Structure 1
Amino acid sequence: MVQFLNFEKTNLIAAFLGGKISKEDVEKIHLLIHKILKTNQKVDFYFEMKDFHGYDLQGLWVDIKVDNSHLSDYGKMAFVGERKWQEWAAKATDFFTGSEVRYFDLKDKEQAKQWINL
């Protein structure tokens, strides 16, 4: 489940992630990516994960395809979570992209917002 947050930064996709991410959730994010790219800006992300359990199979497959086609379009990525595996996933994202990726514990979400310039 993706619940988008309303922030004023024009090149930022900010959302709460909970439960499992579906194909439809990824497609909604993909539409926002294209909207930002039309403004000739890199896409920044702020994902706050609470009770997040990853992706369903179709969601994972679509997310891999979206990320593969847009790796050079991403700027900063702030992952805010509550589980060690989420930190590892952020580190893997950092390894496979040219983006600046950081993981923050939920208790440090204000620091994450400051880092991503919210």
Structure 2
Amino acid sequence: MAFQQHGLAIGINRTGDTFFLTLKAVGKLTHEDYEIITPVIESALAGVKKPTINALIDGTKLEGWEPRAAWDDFKLGINHGSQFKKIAIVGNKKWQQVAAKVGTWFVGGQVKYFEDETEALGWVTEH
């Protein structure tokens, strides 16, 4: 029996006095994954007036999205894109670098692609 892991893990981390959101995407994301994670993200943002969020996304184990999940991801970006100040995407595939560039169209802040997590962390936490 083959075991396929997929989903999104979300966390809040701190480096010095800088807090940032962490997301780790694994496998091929599904609509059901977004049905679980979207309310968590929206609940966390609901209590913050004028949130400005920095995020570190680890996509090194991301294989992509099912079509409906891609739409869910797009809607999440549209609904909350203006609240992000910086998004660092750590990846290891060419399409992820392209996706980071496309993401800048939907996010009010900066989106930058990295292949090195330490560099990404340094950039997302700098003032």
Range class of TM-score, shorter chain: 0.7 to 0.9
TM-score by length of 1: 0.81
Match of residue 115 from structure 1? 123
Retained in 2: the 8 A contact 1:36–1:43? Answer: no
Query: Which protein shows a greater Rg?
Result: 2
Retained in 2: the 8 A contact 1:13–1:32? Answer: no
* Aligned counterpart in structure 2 of residue 61 of structure 1, from 71, 85, 88: 71
SS of the residue corresponding to residue 40 of structure 2 reads helix
* Aligned counterpart in structure 2 of residue 7 of structure 1, from 13, 19, 24: 13
Structure 1 pair 98–52 and aligned structure 2 pair: CA distance change class (3 A): same
In terms of fraction of residues, the more helix-rich structure is 1
Deviation digits for residues 49-87 of structure 1, max 9, x if unmatched?
Answer: 123111112211212222222221222100000011100
Provide the C-alpha distance between the structure 2 equivalents of 1:78 and 1:69, rounded to a whole number of angstroms.
19
The answer to whether residue 41 in structure 2 is matched with residue 35 in structure 1 is no
User: Percent same amino acid at aligned positions?
Assistant: 26
Provide the C-alpha distance between the structure 2 equivalents of 1:55 and 1:25, rounded to a whole number of angstroms.
10
Match of residue 25 from structure 2? 17
TM-score by length of 2: 0.76
Amino acid paired to 1:7: N
Give the length in aligned residue pairs. Answer: 116
CA RMSD of aligned residues (A): 2.3
Deviation digits for residues 8-65 of structure 1, max 9, x if unmatched?
Answer: 3786320221211122333414522441342222222211112311111221121222
SS of the residue corresponding to residue 103 of structure 1 reads strand
User: Can you give the 5+ residue segments of structure 1 that lack an aligned partner in the other structure?
Assistant: none
